[in-house]
Amino acid sequence: MTNGRVFPIDRKITVLTLILAAFSPAAAAQKFLKLPSVEIFGGYSYLHFQSTTLGFSKQLNMSGAIAGISIPIYAGLGISGDASAHYSGDLEAYYFMAGPQYRLQWRALRLTGHGLFGKGRSRLRNPGTTFNEPSTLARAWAVGGELDVPLRERMWLRPLEADYVTTSAFGSTLHNLRISSGLIFIFGKH
């Protein structure tokens, strides 16, 4: 049975052939495609929290964790983001920030400076007689730097990350110091 075509060709084979022809240059170019490297950081974080402006009798020293990601873009410039959580008996503090970074390689060490912008949440853990824990979510920014030391080709140690963190909590502006340390794992091209 003919339907006016010169060659009786199955449509499925035609479509499959066209798809393979369309994507074969992209498949051949995969060896030339270079994905950026991505660095994942995780570790311990200490926060010296300016809590006297909130009515506490002394400054709070809070322990917690930090996780971050950074993507080098061009000649030392990159973008960075982090999330951290800090706890004490009276207060919890969370930060979610991202921003630009600049990295300098000096011998085997890497020095990085960054400016981060985002949000910070502060929450009272012992509110007294209320059942709801009062909390506040406000703008936050940080400026700081990092020192990285290589352990292996794709694993680095960050013995020191120091940030001056400013945030608003319960109507007050707070100036805090965050010190972190941990491991970096590098994925992608290096």
Q: What is the pLDDT, as a whole number, of residue 190?
A: 57
Given a cut of 70, the residues of the chain with pLDDT beneath it are 1-35, 127-133, 190
Q: What is the pLDDT, as a whole number, of residue 184?
A: 96
Give the whole-angstrom CA distance, residue 25 versus residue 190.
25
Q: What is the pLDDT, as a whole number, of residue 129?
A: 47
Give the whole-angstrom CA distance, residue 143 versus residue 188.
27
Interval 114-165: pLDDT, tens: 999 999 999 887 766 455 668 889 999 999 999 999 999 899 999 999 999 9
- Cα separations in angstroms, 103 against 74, 79, 178, 185: 10, 10, 20, 16
Domains of the chain, earliest start first: 38-187 (2.40.160.20)
Q: What is the pLDDT, as a whole number, of residue 33?
A: 47
Q: What is the pLDDT, as a whole number, of residue 158?
A: 97
Cα angle, residue 63 at apex, residues 81 and 108 outer, rounded to 5°: 55
Proportion of the chain in helix, strand, coil states, percent, rounded to 5: 15, 65, 25
Q: What is the pLDDT, as a whole number, of residue 3?
A: 55
Give the whole-angstrom CA distance, residue 98 versus residue 82.
6
Q: What are phi and psi of 126, to 5 degrees?
A: -120, 80
Whole-structure pTM value: 0.77
Cα angle, residue 187 at apex, residues 160 and 153 outer, rounded to 5°: 65
**Alpha helices (H) in the chain, listed in sequence order:** 11-28
